[in-house]
Structure 1
């Protein structure tokens, strides 16, 4: 370490993460003076400036940004190594911080599986977060993240859970009033029920078409989007687990089946967290159980009925 204290590095990471000495001191119980002194010692030993300090704000230097990224990863690896060393028995115990997609997939399919895992392993506490933030797993607080879509970062440990298919659906009543939909261009001018993204990218083989939502309904909830479609308010786009049973019953119509696209669902984990037996066990459990749960949900559909 060339006489560099790990306490100095942790102080620097805390201040950088919280954005100020005041916030870092409040979060840790240390004094601002103590944190400042530790970072000064770190900069003096490294012979570089890591922080720009003014009376009003604090920001990382360009060197500080690079040092933060590398130091955060090193500290995370050390913490994981310490936890691994403390696992002296085969009993699973400790905290697992997991981030997952929300809605039906996360809250009604993933969450019950996590609860069953915790019941089987009382020493494990899973902190399950359904925020939609895209996090950098190598430096974030999460041990495990559920992601939808193709994975880009090959440095992460990944397990494929399942494939989901996007459906474009409307009620028979809506189609009787507005006419059939045979191609993406037919969606233009029709009321669309959409979520946080106000444009749809439709794919069929090498073909791609973008449809902009105008004059429709913005609803950031898959359950509510399905209800709106069942009520005849417009055309919506949802993954198949929301609407497959409705299509089979004839309550909804799959209007563009040739333009449906398939997306993978995966669990990803940073390598230094995958060393922990409890994290590996939860990944294995979800990968084993989730496909059957998803297929059963496809056939059974949602318990809620259409709004009257």
Structure 2
């Protein structure tokens, strides 16, 4: 173990990440020969082959792949530990990478609160992106992820932000044309406005009904689904922040209220990242301000 060089390990990580000695050398500012020598010395110290080298391409051996994953995690932990050790004199500054749900919740609730946070702490650099794709907090190097739904048990830090209620709605004109909808099975007889989920699992107590969306319109956007429901194209299911103001204004009618669902919106953070003042401060900022922002959006409805 004493023969191992941290520089050699970092050289190996760069080569594995960029897929070639040339690309890694350009990124790290070292010569290609220097990186090659460091990786060769690392392989000699370990007594194993980490890379298959040919004139055309380079790839990890099976052992190399496992070693890469473990060293990558270890280096991330060491870098975070160094940040933690020096943060007391640095204050709230540095980068925060966030992946969050999109649509109205991401764009009209989370983003404004994050913007206000950065305005208060201008030395923080925020990278915020919206996607529904599940991300690996370790592999993707995110500091914070904001997600809806039940999360698997893990060593990650999870903080609840809010309960989001999902409602089933349709326009008054649509209901006049298609008759009353009094039970979930009625939904199979009318057009639906649905998104990426085309199978609605409806639950009330211990009862469960599955509705397959096989007629209507598919729009993979909450905003577009909202507009389509207002236009009378079908029944849709959306978070209450999209539709509550329209229900209050009689532009939409809630149907099957007993089958509405409540989903938890949570912040998820790796334990080491949670120890960083800037990340923990942002989580506390969101936790404190999100409920009021959510209530205002419920009352006023989404923009445009």
Using the size of structure 2 for normalisation, the TM-score is 0.91
The residue aligned with 1:296 is 296
Task: Quote the Cα distance in structure 2 between the aligned partners of 1:246 and 1:91.
Answer: 44
Q: Is the 8 A contact 1:118 1:125 kept in 2?
A: yes
Report deviation, 1:265. 0.7
Unaligned runs of 5+ in 2: none
**2:92 aligns to what SS in structure 1?**
coil
Partners of 1:163 and 1:265 within 8 A in 2: yes
Q: TM-score, normalised by structure 1?
A: 0.90
Q: 2 CA distance for matches of 1:40 and 1:184?
A: 65
What is the deviation of 1:20? 4.4
Judging changes above 3 Å, is the alpha-carbon distance between structure 1 residues 64 and 259 closer, same or farther for their aligned structure 2 residues?
Answer: farther
Asked if the contact 2:91–2:277 (Cα under 8 Å) also holds between the matched residues in 1, the reply is no
Q: Which position in structure 1 is the counterpart of 2:272?
A: 272
Aligned to 1:246: 246
What is aligned with 1:7?
7
In structure 1, the residue corresponding to 2:89 is in which secondary structure? coil
For 1:62 and 1:20, the matched residues in 2 are separated by 17
2:89 — aligned with what? 89
- Paired residues, number: 304
Q: Tell me how far 1:200 sits from its aligned partner.
A: 1.9
The answer to whether the 8 Å contact 1:92/1:124 transfers is yes
The aligned residue for residue 209 of structure 2 is 209
Residue by residue over 1:120-157, the C-alpha shift from the partner in whole angstroms, topping out at 9 and shown as x without a partner, is 11111111111333111123221111111122142111
Identify if the C-alpha distance between structure 1 residues 25 and 242 changes in structure 2 by more than 3 Å, giving closer, same or farther.
farther
Deviates more, 1:280-289 or 1:295-304: 295-304
- Structure 1 CA distance, aligned partners of 2:94 and 2:158? 21
Deviates more, 1:82-91 or 1:125-134: 82-91
Deviations 1:162-192 (A, max 9, x none): 0101111111111111122222222224222
How big is each residue's C-alpha offset from its partner over 1:204-225, in whole Å with a ceiling of 9 and x where there is no partner? 2233333222232221221111
Most deviating of 286-295 and 9-18 = 9-18
1:240-297 alpha-carbon deviations (Å, 9 max, x no partner): 1111111122211222222222111111111111121111111111011111111221
CA displacement at 1:31 relative to structure 2 = 4.7
How does 1:113-152 map onto structure 2 within 5 Å? Answer: 113-152=113-152
Distance 1:206 1:65, change over 3 A: farther
Give, in angstroms, the shift of residue 26 of structure 1: 5.0
Describe the SS at the equivalent of 1:294: helix
- For residue 106 of structure 1, report the CA deviation from its aligned partner: 0.8
- Closer/same/farther in 2, CA of residues 236 and 27 from structure 1, 3 Å limit: farther
Partner of 1:154: 154
How many Å separate the matches in 1 of 2:208 and 2:48? 50
1:70 aligns to what? 70
Distance 1:180 1:30 in 2: 71
Q: CA RMSD in A?
A: 2.2
Match in the other structure for 1:167 = 167
CA contact (8 A) 2:108 2:302 kept: no
